[in-house]
C-alpha cells in the first residue's frame, strides 16, 4: 500500500477491483464506512456480487481476468474527456518523456518480440521531454493511442459490464482527476493472480498517476495483503528472487561477484543508489567480523540463483525428482498451491519433508490424502508443532506497512514452540554438523548467530534487523545512517528505525494521539520507510508546495519552510521547486511511470485472455500473455466445449488462507463448515441443479465434489453477446482439521504471471455436473 | 357401578379392554421415566418456536372440559337448584380428573420439575401463569377435599367426614371463584402471545376461555352421564330431566359467547382474517359454525334436545368445539408466526394418551366404588343445609 | 439515569459476523455442528449456543439485487414480556436497560417466556434434563464494569453503536432525516413491543431482513397487567358473592321445603 487503512477515510471515491474488503479486510471497511459518511462513493468491480458490492454505490460485474480493459477504459475515458490531472501528469510522471523512435505496438505485441521474449532496446527513453505532451512519440501520446482502443463498447464486450453502467463508473472515477479530489484503488488477489497480474497492478498505478491520486491523502495504490503479516514476510524476502528489503537476489550469471552486483544491481539515479550500503550492512549483520571489505563482506557466501525457483517451478522440479527435501514452514501448498493434485503427487518423490505448523495440516498429511496410497510413499515426514501469533513475540507488518510489535499472550501448548525457537535450534544443530566439516561449511559456520544460548533473545533479533553501528552495537536511527564500508550492520534496511530506541522502540508505541489531524498516528507503531505513512508524498502538493486540497494538507510550503503532517518523501530542507521533478525518489527518473520498460510483457498493459478462456482475444491476434510462465500443459483449449464455464476462486471472512488455522477453530467452522460452490440461478436452472445438491466441478487438472449453493448474487455476464456463466468457489478447505472439504486448488492451472510467477487462480475454465 | 353390597372392600372389575388399558399404562410409565431422566429434548419434538407442545396443550382442553365441575356445582350447591342434584357428582369427578390430568401434565412439561414449588415461594405476581398455577393448585386441592367428602361417605372416619362436611360451603364458594379466575386466566396467557393469529388473538380472550369452559360444562356432564350410563347399564333417560335445564343454561351461555365473539371481531375489525381463506380462517369458521352454531341450534330445538341421540350428539359437537378452540389457539393460530412445523413425537403421544387413559381408569374406579352416578338425594342436601355457611356470617 | 441501547445501522453492516463470534467468545458458548447453508446464515437459526445470529438476506427487485446482513438477538424491551410472564421472577430488567435471565436456579422451565417473547429470541437448551433458557444479557456483566457489549466492541464498521437509548433514537431519526432517499423510514424498536433498547435502521424494509414487522406495537405487559390487576378484586369479591347467593338460595330452598 502506498497509503494505509486509516487514510481510506479521506477518499472521495474508492474503486475496489479484485478485492473484497468487506469480506477479507473488514477493518479496512471501517474507514470506507467513515468516508462514505462524508459523502465518499464506493465502486466495486467483481465477477460476484460480493459483500463489498452490497455496500457499493456502483457495482460493476465483470468477467474474471478482464481487469486491464476495465482499467484502461477508464484511462481512455479520462483522456478523451480531458478529466485527467494534467498538472500532476506533466510534473510528476514520465508522460512527457520521449520514447525511442522504433518503439511500437502492433497486433498485441510490442516492438522487439522474439523467441525468448522481448528485446527491450526500443523501450528506452531518448532523453528528451515534451512538457506540452504533444510529441507523437512522447509517453502520453503513446498512452493515449494505446488506451484509445479500449473504448467503452469494446470494454463492455470483453468484460461483460453493461455499457451504460461502465460509463457511469468511468465518469465517477475519472472525476477524481480533478485537482484536490482523491480516488483510492483498492485491490488484492483478484488483480494479482493472473498470468498478467503484474500488468493488472500496473494498470492501477497508471490510472492513479493519470488522475493524480498517488502520494495524496485518500489516494493511493492500495494492495490489501492476503494475510496479516504477508507484508512483513515479503519485506523480509519470503520471495525467492529477493534479499531482505527488496534488494535483488544475486544471480549466478549476472552477479557472480560483489563487484558485478554492486555495479549491475545499483541504478545510476534514484534512492536505490544507496543499495550497496543496504546490502553491505546486511552482510555485516549476517557475517559480522568475518565480513570485511577485503572479502567483499562475504558476498560469496550468499547462494546465487540460476533460474526459476518459484513455487510452481519448485514443485515441477519435485515432480521430476530433482528436489529431495522440503521445508513447509507456515505454508500449506497442498491446499494453497495451484494444481494441487499434481503437487501432492510431486511430494511423493521427496525423501523427507519437515512441516512446521500449528496443526497437522494437509501438507504434513499429504501421504494420507484421499487420493494417496500411503503404502507406496517413502517420504519421511517430520512435523514440528509451533505457536500461533498470540503464542510468540515479534512483529506483524500490515498492508499499510506498519510494523507492529505483538506481545505474547500465552505459551504455545504442549511441545509446541515459537518459530524462532525452532529456527534457533535448527541453525545451531546444522552449524554443529558443519563444524565437523563439509563441502563448504563457511557460510554456515561463520554466520553470526548471537541471540542467546539456550533461549533466544528476540530483542537482539530486532536490533539486528533495525541495524546498529558495529563499533558500539548501538541501534542506528534509521537507514540514512547505514554505510557501505562495514561500519554498520543492518538485517533489513527497510525496517531500520523500527527498533532504534531500546527503551521506547517505535514499533512498540501505542499512542493514539494524532498530531497530523489526518489520522496518521505517527506514534502508533512504526511504518516503513522511516515512519512515512504515505509514500511518494511529494505529490501531495503542487510543484510550488501548495496542497491540492487545503482541507487535507499533508504538507504546505509557507514560503520559507514546509509545514509537515507526515514524514516527507523528499528533501524538506530545500524549496519545493527543487524537489518538484523528483517525487518518485526510488525511480532513476524520479517520476512516476506510465511507461515501464522493466515489465516482461510490455511497457504498457495490454489485454490478453487468461490461459483458459471461452473467448478469442478481440483486441489482437495474441490470445495469451506472450511471456506467461506455463508449468504444465493440462489447460483447456480456448472456447472449450468440455469446460464451458468460467471459474474463479475467492475467500471467506471466516477462514484464513488454506484454513490451517481457522478450520481447526470450532467457532469459525460453525460459521462456515464445509466446501461449497456457488452458481447463478440461470445456470442452476439450465443444469437442473438446486442448492445443497452435491456437484462435481471438473477441469483438465482434476475434479472435486462439493455442495452447491444457488444464489442471486452471481449473474451471467453478456460477453461478446454471449451469456457467460461464472462458477465461484472458496479455496479454504482440505482433508484435515475440524471442517473438511474438497480442495479448490485441485482445479486451478499451473500457469504463472510473466514477472512474478503468481499462479492464475482467478480465471480458468470448468464444468459442473450433479454428483 | 357403586353397589351397596361392596361395603367391606373396594373392587374393580377387570375386562379385556381394561387389561389393555393397564398395559398401555405400563408403556406410559416407561416413557414418563425416560422423560424424567433425559429431559424434554430427546423425548419431544419441541423447538424454540414450538416450545409449548402436546403436553402443555393437554392442560387447556382438560381444564376447559373440567369446567363442567364448577358450573354444575354452582348451580347445584350455590344456587341450590334441586334438578341438578342427581348429576352434580358426575360433574365433580370428571372435573377432578380433568384437573388431575392437567396438573400431572404440567409436571411432565416443565423442564426443571424439582422446582415446581418455586412459583409459590417466589411471587411472580405479574405473570398470568402465576395466577393460573395458584388457582389451579388451590382448586385442585379443594376438589380433592370435595371428593374426600364423597369418599368418606363410605370410608369410616367420622371425624374427617364431619370436618369436611362443615368446611364444604366455604370450599364450594372459594372453589368456584378459583376456576372462574383461572379459566379466564388460561385464556389470559394468550394475551402475551401476540403472534397468535388475529382471528383468535383478542384482549377478550380470557373471557372467551371462561365462558366457553362454562358453556361446555353441561355438554360434558350430559355426555359423561350418557357414557357412564351405557357402561353401567343405567337408564340415561332418568337423568334427562336434570340435564335438560342444564343444557339450556349451556345454550344460553353459547348464545352469549356467540354474541360476544361477533362483537369482538367487529370491534377489532378482524372479520377479514376469518374469511381470508387460509387454514387459520377456515379453521375458525369450522370451529364456530360446525362446533358452535350447529350444537347451539340442536340444543335450542326441543325435539333434538329431548332425544337421547340428539342431546348426546349436540353435546359431543359442543365439546369438540371447545377442544378445537384450544387447539386452534395453541397450534393453528400460532403456526403462521413460526418457520418450523411441529408434530408431536410418539412419546409425546404416549404421554398424552397415558394421562387420559389413567384418568379414565380412575373415574371408572371412583364410579364403581363411591356414590357418584347415584347423585345426591334431597335428604343429603338437607343434611348439608344444616350447616350454616361460615363466610356469610363473617 | 437513562437506559442504554444499541443502534444497528444495517446499511453499515458488512456481515463479517464478528459480533456473532464475539458473543460466543465472551459468553463461553460452545460451537455447534453445522452444515453448509446456501445463504451463509449459520447456524440457520438462533439456538441455545447462538444467542445472537447474523442473518443474510438477498433482496431481489427488478433486475437489481441487494444483500444485507442483520444481527438479531434479544432486543431488550423497555417493558419486557419475558420478565412480565415469568411466575418466579427469573428475569430482571436492570436500570441500565438490560433484560437479564438473572435467576436461572429458580426457573421452573415452563417456557412461557419463550412463547410470549414477541421476537422469539429466547433459546432453550433442549438436550439437557433440567434444561433452562438462555438469551442475550446485553453483556450485563460488561455493562456494570463500564464496558460496551462484546458484539459492539468487535464491530469494525460502526454498524453497532452503543449509547443512551434516547440519544440513539434521536440519532437514528437524524440519520434517516438527513438521508431520506437512502433509509427506509422506520426505526425498528422505537415502537415495537412498546419500544426496545435495541434500535434498527435500514435501507430495505424490515420484512426483507426477516424481521417480524407484524409485531405488537404497544407494550404487551401493559395489557397482561391490566388483566392481572383484576384478579385480586375478583378473588375477594367472587367468594363473597357466591356465599351470598348460597345463603339466599339455601334459605329459599328451605322455605320451599317447609312449604311442602
Chains A, C: CB contacts within 8 A come to: 92
Q: What is the mean pLDDT of residues A655-661?
A: 93
A180-216 tens-digit pLDDT: 999 999 999 999 999 999 999 999 999 999 999 999 9
- In C, which residues are within 8 Å of B169 by CB distance? 243, 246
Neighbours of B294 (CB within 10 A): 16
Enumerate the residues of chain C whose CB falls inside 8 A of the CB of residue B41.
125-128, 131
The three-class DSSP label of residue A543 is coil
Chain B positions touching C220 (Cβ under 8 A) are: 191-192, 194
Low-confidence ranges of chain C (pLDDT < 50): 259-260
What does the pLDDT look like over A372-409, one tens digit per residue?
A: 999 999 999 999 999 998 999 999 999 999 999 999 99
Q: Rounded to the nearest 5 degrees, what angle is found at the Cα of B183, between the Cα atoms of B181 and B187?
A: 110
pLDDT of residue B393: 30
**Residue B78 with chain C: CB contacts under 8 Å:** 242, 245-246, 249
Residue A349: CB atoms within 10 Å:
18
State how far residue C61 is from chain B, nearest Cα, in angstroms: 24
Residues of chain C contacting A668 with CB distance shorter than 8 Å: 21
- Distance, in Å, from the CA atom of B165 to the CA atom of B144, rounded to the nearest integer, reads 13
User: What residues of chain C, 31 to 90, have a C-beta less than 8 Å from chain B?
Assistant: 45-47, 81, 83-89
Mark yes or no for CB contact C220/B172 under 8 Å. Answer: no
Q: What is the pLDDT along chain B (394 residues), one digit of tens a residue?
A: 555 545 556 778 888 999 999 999 999 999 999 999 999 999 999 999 999 999 999 999 998 988 888 877 887 877 777 777 777 888 888 889 999 999 999 999 999 999 998 988 888 888 899 988 888 888 888 888 888 888 887 777 788 888 888 888 888 877 777 887 888 889 999 999 999 999 999 999 999 998 999 899 889 888 888 888 888 788 888 888 878 888 898 999 999 999 999 999 999 999 999 999 999 999 999 999 999 999 999 999 999 988 999 999 999 999 999 999 999 999 999 999 999 899 999 999 999 999 999 999 998 888 888 888 776 655 454 444 433 333 333 2
Residue B377, pLDDT score:
54
Q: Rounded CA gap, C112 and A13, in Å?
A: 52
C89–B189: do the CB atoms touch at under 8 Å?
no
Would the CB atoms of B51 and C114 count as touching at under 8 Å? yes
Minimum-distance CB partner of A674 among C35, C66, C159: C35
- Chains in touch with A (3+ beta-carbon pairs under 8 Å) read C
Does residue C4 contact residue C97 with C-beta atoms inside 8 Å? yes
In angstroms, the CA B197 to CA A47 distance is 44
Cell of A655: 477462514
Distance CA A232, CA A646 (A): 34
Residue C21 cell numbers, joined? 463470534
Of the candidates B37, B123, B124, the beta carbon closest to that of C129 is on B37
The shortest C-alpha distance from A371 to chain C (Å) reads 24
Whether B41 and C240 lie within 8 Å, measured CB to CB: no
Q: Which chain B residues have a beta carbon less than 8 Å from that of C231?
A: 131, 181, 185
Q: Which of B115, B168, B338 to mutate to test the interface with C (most CBs of C within 10 A)?
A: B115
Contact indicator for A28, A209 with CB cutoff of 8 Å: no
Task: Quickly list DSSP for A274-336.
Answer: GHHHHHHHHHHHHHGGG--TTTGGGGGGS--B-S--SHHHHHHHHHTT---EEEEES--HHHH
Buried b (16+ CB within 10 A) or exposed e, A205-218: bbbbbbbbbbbbbb
Instruction: Say whether A691 and C40 touch across the interface (CB within 8 A).
Output: no
Does the beta-carbon distance from A33 to C31 stay under 8 Å?
no
d(Cα A364, Cα A379) in Å, to the nearest integer?
Answer: 11
Q: Comparing C-alpha atoms, which of A765, A747, A714, A62 is closest to residue C38? A: A714
B180, C238: Cβ pair inside 8 Å? Answer: yes
B187 with B210: CB under 8 angstroms? yes
User: Once rounded to an integer, what is the mean pLDDT over residues A273-291?
Assistant: 97
**Beta-carbon separation of B110 and C108 below 8 A:** yes
* Extended strands (E) in B106-216: none
Enclosing H/E stretch for C72:
strand C64-72
Contact assessment for residue A396 and residue A498, using Cβ atoms and an 8 Å cutoff: no
Alpha-carbon gap, residue B218 to B250, rounded angstroms: 6
> Hey, CA dihedral for C211, C214, C219, C225, is it positive or negative?
negative
Phi, then psi, of A145 in degrees rounded to 5: -65, -40
pLDDT value of position A480: 95
- Measured in degrees and rounded to the nearest 5, phi and psi for residue A326 equal -150, 130
State how far the Cα of B50 lies from the Cα of B343, in Å rounded to an integer. 10
Residues of chain A with pLDDT > 70: what percent?
100
Q: Which of C118, C126, C250 sits opposite B80 (nearest CB)?
A: C250
| A676 touching chain C per CB within 8 A | yes
**B127 chain-C contacts, CB cut-off 8 A:** 84-87, 112, 224, 228
Q: State residue B2's pLDDT score.
A: 56
C-alpha cell at C49: 449456543
Q: What is the pLDDT of residues A507-545, one digit of tens each?
A: 999 999 999 999 999 999 999 999 999 999 999 999 999
pLDDT at position C154 is 96
Cell output for A495: 525496517
The set of cell numbers assigned to B19 is: 387389561
Nearest neighbour of C240 by CB, restricted to B118, B127, B391:
B391
| Binary contact (C14, A53; C-beta < 8 A) | no
Q: Cα A712 vs. chain centroid, distance in angstroms?
A: 31
Long-range contacts of B374-379 (CB under 8 A, 24+ apart): B374/B2, B374/B86, B374/B89, B375/B85, B375/B86, B375/B87, B375/B88, B375/B89, B375/B90, B375/B242, B376/B85, B376/B86, B376/B88, B376/B89, B377/B85, B378/B82, B378/B85
Q: What pLDDT, on a 0 to 100 scale, did the predictor assign at position C259?
A: 44
Q: Give me the sign of the Cα torsion angle A529, A532, A533, A539.
A: negative
The x, y and z cell numbers of residue A255, run together, are: 552477479
pLDDT at B126: 87
Q: How far apart are CA A308 and CA A303, in angstroms?
A: 14
Q: How far apart are CA A545 and CA A558, in angstroms?
A: 8
Q: What is the 3-state secondary structure (H, E, C) of A387-400?
A: CCHHHCCEEEECCC
Record the cell numbers describing residue C255, joined without a space. 322455605
Q: Classify residue B233 as exposed, middle or buried by CB count within 10 Å of its CB (0-12, 13-18, 19+).
A: exposed
Of chain A residues 696-755, which have a CB less than 8 A from chain C?
A: 707-713, 715
Closest CA to A155 of A25, A68, A228: A68
**C window 215-244, beta carbon within 8 A of B:** 215-216, 220-221, 223-225, 227-228, 231, 234-235, 238-240, 242-244
Least CB-CB distance to B181: which of C111, C231, C257? C231
Quote the pLDDT of residue C256.
64
Q: Using CB atoms, pick whichever of C14, C25, C36 lies closest to residue A707.
A: C36
Cβ separation C67–A51 shorter than 8 A: yes
CA distances (Å), origin A495, targets A206, A248, A463, A468: 28, 17, 10, 12
Q: Which residues pair with C61 in a beta bridge?
A: C64
Chain B nearest C-alpha distance from C46 (Å): 9
- Average pLDDT over chain A, rounded to whole? 95
Higher pLDDT among residues C253 and A703, named by residue: A703
Chain A partners within 8 Å of C38 (Cβ) = 676, 691-692, 708-711
At residue A427, the pLDDT reads 96
Q: Verify whether the Cβ–Cβ distance C129 to B389 is below 8 Å.
A: no
Q: Is 1.20.1630.10 the CATH number for B46-342?
A: yes
* pLDDT, position A85: 97
Contact B122, B281 (CB under 8 A): no
| Parallel/antiparallel/unpaired status of strands A41-45 and A13-17 | parallel
pLDDT at site B387: 38
Amino acid at each position: 500500500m502506498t497509503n494505509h487503512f486509516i487514510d481510506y477515510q479521506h477518499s472521495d471515491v474508492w474503486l475496489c477491483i479484485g478485492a473484497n474488503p468487506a469480506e477479507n479486510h473488514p477493518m479496512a471497511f471501517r474507514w470506507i464506512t467513515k468516508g462514505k459518511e462524508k459523502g465518499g462513493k464506493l465502486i466495486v468491480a467483481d465477477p460476484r456480487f460480493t459483500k463489498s458490492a452490497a455496500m457499493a454505490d456502483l457495482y460493476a460485474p465483470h468477467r474474471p481476468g478482464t481487469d486491464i480493459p476495465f482499467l484502461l477504459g477508464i484511462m481512455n475515458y479520462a483522456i478523451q474527456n480531458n478529466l485527467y490531472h494534467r498538472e500532476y501528469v506533466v510534473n510528476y510522471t514520465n508522460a512527457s518523456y520521449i520514447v525511442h523512435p522504433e518503439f511500437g505496438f502492433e497486433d498485441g505485441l510490442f516492438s522487439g518480440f522474439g523467441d525468448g521474449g522481448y528485446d527491450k532496446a526500443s523501450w528506452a527513453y531518448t532523453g528528451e521531454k515534451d512538457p506540452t505532451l504533444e510529441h507523437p512519440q512522447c509517453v502520453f501520446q503513446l498512452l493515449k493511442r494505446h488506451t484509445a482502443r479500449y473504448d467503452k463498447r469494446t470494454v463492455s464486450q470483453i468484460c461483460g459490464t453493461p455499457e451504460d453502467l461502465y460509463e457511469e463508473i468511468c465518469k465517477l472515477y475519472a472525476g477524481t482527476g480533478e485537482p484536490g479530489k482523491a480516488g483510492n484503488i483498492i485491490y488484492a488477489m483478484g488483480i494479482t493472480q493472473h498470468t498478467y497480474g503484474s500488468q493488472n497492478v500496473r494498470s492501477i498505478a497508471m490510472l492513479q498517476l493519470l488522475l493524480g491520486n498517488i502520494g495524496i491523502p485518500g489516494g493511493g495504490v492500495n494492495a490489501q495483503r492476503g494475510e496479516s503479516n504477508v507484508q512483513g514476510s515479503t519485506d523480509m524476502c519470503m520471495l525467492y528472487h529477493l534479499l531482505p528489503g527488496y534488494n535483488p537476489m544475486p544471480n549466478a550469471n549476472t552477479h557472480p561477484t560483489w563487484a558485478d552486483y554492486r555495479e549491475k544491481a545499483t541504478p545510476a539515479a534514484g534512492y536505490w543508489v544507496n543499495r550497496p550500503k543496504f546490502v553491505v550492512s546486511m552482510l555485516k549483520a549476517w557475517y559480522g567480523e568475518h565480513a570485511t571489505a577485503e572479502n567483499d563482506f562475504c558476498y560469496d557466501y550468499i547462494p546465487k540463483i540460476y533460474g526459476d525457483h518459484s513455487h510452481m517451478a519448485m514443485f515441477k522440479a519435485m515432480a521430476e525428482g530433482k528436489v529431495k527435501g522440503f521445508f513447509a514452514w507456515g505454508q500449506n501448498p497442498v491446499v494453497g498451491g495451484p494444481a494441487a493434485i499434481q503437487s501432492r503427487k510431486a511430494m511423493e518423490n521427496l525423501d523427507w519433508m519437515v512441516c512446521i505448523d500449528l496443526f497437522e495440516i494437509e501438507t504434513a498429511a499429504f501421504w494420507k490424502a484421499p487420493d494417496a496410497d500411503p503404502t507406496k510413499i517413502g517420504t519421511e515426514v517430520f512435523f514440528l508443532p509451533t505457536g500461533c501469533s498470540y503464542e510468540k513475540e515479534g512483529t506483524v507488518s500490515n498492508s499499510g506497512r506498519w510494523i507492529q510489535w505483538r506481545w505474547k499472550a500465552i505459551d504455545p501448548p504442549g511441545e509446541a514452540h515459537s518459530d524462532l525457537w525452532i529456527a534457533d535450534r535448527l541453525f545451531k544443530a546444522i552449524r554443529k554438523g558443519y563444524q565437523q566439516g563439509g563441502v563448504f561449511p563457511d557460510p554456515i559456520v561463520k554466520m553470526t548467530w548471537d541471540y542467546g544460548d539456550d533461549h533466544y533473545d528476540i530483542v537482539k533479533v530486532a536490533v539486528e534487523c533495525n541495524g546498529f553501528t558495529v563499533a558500539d552495537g548501538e541501534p542506528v536511527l534509521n537507514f540514512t545512517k547505514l554505510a557501505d564500508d562495514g561500519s554498520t550492520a543492518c538485517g533489513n534496511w527497510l525496517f531500520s528505525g523500527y527498533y532504534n530506541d531500546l527503551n521506547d522502540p517505535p514499533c512498540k508505541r501505542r499512542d493514539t494521539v494524532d498530531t497530523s489531524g489526518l489520522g496518521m498516528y505517527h506514534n502508533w507503531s512504526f511504518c516503513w520507510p522511516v515512519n512515512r505513512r504515505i509514500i511518494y508524498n511529494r505529490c501531495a502538493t503542487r510543484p510550488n508546495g501548495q496542497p491540492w486540497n487545503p482541507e487535507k494538507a499533508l504538507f504546505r510550503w509557507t514560503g520559507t519552510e514546509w509545514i509537515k503532517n507526515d514524514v516527507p518523501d523528499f528533501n524538506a530542507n530545500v524549496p519545493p521547486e527543487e524537489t518538484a521533478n523528483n517525487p518518485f525518489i526510488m525511480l532513476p527518473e524520479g517520476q512516476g511511470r506510465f511507461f515501464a520498460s522493466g515489465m516482461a510483457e510490455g511497457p504498457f498493459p495490454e489485454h490478453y485472455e487468461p490461459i483458459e478462456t471461452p473467448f478469442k482475444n478481440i483486441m489482437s491476434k495474441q490470445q495469451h500473455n506472450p511471456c506467461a510462465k506455463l508449468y504444465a500443459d493440462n489447460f483447456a483449449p480456448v472456447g472449450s466445449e468440455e469446460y464451458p464455464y468460467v471459474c474463479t476462486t475467492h475467500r471467506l471472512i471466516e477462514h484464513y488462507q488454506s484454513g490451517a488455522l481457522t478450520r481447526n477453530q470450532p467457532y469459525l467452522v460453525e460459521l462456515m463448515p464445509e466446501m461449497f460452490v456457488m452458481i447463478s440461478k440461470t445456470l442452476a436452472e439450465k443444469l437442473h441443479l438446486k442448492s445443497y445438491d452435491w456437484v462435481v466441478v471438473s477441469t483438465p487438472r482434476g475434479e472435486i465434489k462439493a455442495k452447491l449453493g444457488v444464489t442471486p448474487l452471481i449473474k451471467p455476464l453478456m460477453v461478446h453477446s454471449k451469456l457467460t456463466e461464472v462458477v465461484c468457489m472458496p479455496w479454504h478447505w482440505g482433508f484435515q482439521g475440524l471442517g473438511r472439504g474438497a480442495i479448490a486448488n485441485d482445479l486451478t492451472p499451473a500457469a504463472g504471471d510473466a514477472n512474478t510467477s503468481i499462479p492464475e487462480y482467478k480465471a480458468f475454465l470448468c464444468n459442473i455436473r450433479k454428483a | 357401578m357403586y353397589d351397596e353390597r361392596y361395603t367391606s372392600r373396594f373392587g374393580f372389575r377387570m375386562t379385556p379392554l381394561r387389561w389393555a388399558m393397564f398395559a398401555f399404562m405400563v408403556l406410559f410409565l416407561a416413557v414418563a421415566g425416560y422423560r424424567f431422566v433425559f429431559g424434554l429434548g430427546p423425548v419431544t419434538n419441541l423447538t424454540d418456536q414450538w416450545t409449548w407442545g402436546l403436553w402443555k396443550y393437554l392442560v387447556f382442553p382438560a381444564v376447559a372440559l373440567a369446567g363442567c365441575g364448577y358450573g354444575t356445582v354452582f348451580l347445584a350447591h350455590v344456587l341450590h337448584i334441586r334438578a341438578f342434584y342427581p348429576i352434580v357428582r358426575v360433574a365433580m369427578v370428571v372435573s377432578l380428573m380433568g384437573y388431575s390430568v392437567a396438573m400431572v401434565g404440567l409436571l411432565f412439561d416443565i423442564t426443571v420439575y424439582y422446582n415446581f414449588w418455586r412459583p409459590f415461594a417466589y411471587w411472580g405476581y405479574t405473570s398470568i401463569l402465576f395466577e393460573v398455577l395458584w388457582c389451579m393448585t388451590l382448586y385442585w386441592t379443594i376438589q380433592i377435599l370435595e371428593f374426600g367428602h364423597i369418599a368418606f361417605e363410605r370410608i369410616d372416619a367420622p371425624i374427617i367426614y364431619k370436618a369436611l362436611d362443615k368446611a364444604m360451603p366455604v370450599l364450594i364458594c372459594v372453589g368456584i371463584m378459583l376456576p372462574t379466575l383461572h379459566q379466564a386466566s388460561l385464556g389470559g396467557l394468550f394475551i402475551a402471545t401476540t403472534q397468535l393469529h388475529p382471528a383468535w388473538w383478542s384482549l377478550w380472550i380470557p373471557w372467551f376461555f371462561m365462558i366457553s369452559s362454562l358453556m361446555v360444562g353441561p355438554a360434558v356432564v350430559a355426555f359423561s352421564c350418557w357414557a357412564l350410563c351405557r357402561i353401567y347399564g343405567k337408564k340415561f333417560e332418568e337423568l334427562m330431566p336434570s340435564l335438560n335445564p342444564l343444557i339450556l343454561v349451556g345454550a344460553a351461555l353459547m348464545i352469549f359467547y356467540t354474541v360476544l365473539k361477533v362483537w369482538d371481531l367487529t370491534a377489532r375489525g378482524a372479520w377479514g382474517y376469518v374469511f381470508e381463506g387460509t387454514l387459520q380462517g377456515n379453521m375458525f369458521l369450522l370451529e364456530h359454525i360446525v362446533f358452535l352454531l350447529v350444537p347451539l341450534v340442536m340444543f335450542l330445538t326441543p325435539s333434538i334436545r329431548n332425544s337421547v341421540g340428539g342431546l348426546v350428539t349436540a353435546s359431543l359437537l359442543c365439546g369438540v368445539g371447545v377442544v378445537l378452540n384450544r387447539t386452534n389457539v395453541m397450534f393453528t393460530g400460532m403456526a403462521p408466526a413460526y418457520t418450523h412445523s411441529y408434530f408431536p413425537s410418539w412419546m409425546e403421544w404416549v404421554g398424552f394418551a397415558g394421562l387420559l387413559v389413567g384418568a379414565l381408569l380412575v373415574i371408572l374406579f371412583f364410579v364403581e366404588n363411591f356414590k357418584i352416578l347415584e347423585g345426591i338425594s334431597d335428604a343429603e342436601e338437607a343434611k348439608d343445609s344444616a350447616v350454616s355457611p361460615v363466610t356469610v356470617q363473617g | 439515569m437513562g437506559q442504554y441501547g444499541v443502534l444497528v445501522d444495517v446499511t453499515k453492516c458488512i456481515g463479517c459476523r464478528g459480533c456473532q463470534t464475539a458473543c460466543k467468545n465472551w459468553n463461553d458458548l460452545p460451537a455447534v455442528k453445522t452444515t453448509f447453508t446456501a445463504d451463509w446464515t449459520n447456524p440457520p437459526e438462533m439456538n441455545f449456543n447462538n444467542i445472537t445470529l447474523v442473518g443474510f438476506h438477498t433482496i431481489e427487485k427488478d433486475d437489481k439485487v441487494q444483500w444485507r446482513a442483520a444481527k438479531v438477538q434479544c432486543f431488550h424491551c423497555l417493558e419486557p414480556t419475558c420478565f412480565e410472564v415469568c411466575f418466579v421472577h427469573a428475569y430482571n430488567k436492570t436500570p441500565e436497560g438490560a433484560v437479564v435471565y438473572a435467576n436461572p436456579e429458580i426457573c421452573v422451565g415452563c417456557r412461557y417466556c419463550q412463547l410470549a417473547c414477541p421476537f422469539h429470541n429466547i433459546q432453550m437448551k433442549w438436550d439437557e434434563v433440567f434444561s433452562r433458557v438462555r438469551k442475550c444479557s446485553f453483556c450485563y456483566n460488561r455493562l456494570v464494569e463500564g464496558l460496551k457489549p462484546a458484539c459492539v466492541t468487535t464491530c469494525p464498521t460502526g454498524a453497532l453503536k452503543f449509547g443512551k437509548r434516547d440519544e440513539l433514537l434521536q440519532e437514528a431519526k437524524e440519520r434517516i432525516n438527513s438521508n431520506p432517499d437512502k433509509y427506509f423510514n422506520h426505526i425498528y424498536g422505537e415502537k415495537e413491543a412498546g419500544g426496545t433498547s435495541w434500535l434498527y435502521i435500514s435501507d430495505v424494509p424490515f420484512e426483507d431482513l426477516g424481521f417480524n414487522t407484524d409485531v405488537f406495537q404497544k407494550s404487551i405487559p401493559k395489557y397482561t397487567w391490566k388483566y392481572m390487576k383484576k384478579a385480586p378484586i375478583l378473588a375477594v369479591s367472587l367468594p363473597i358473592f357466591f356465599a351470598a347467593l348460597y345463603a339466599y338460595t339455601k334459605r329459599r330452598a328451605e322455605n320451599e321445603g317447609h312449604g311442602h
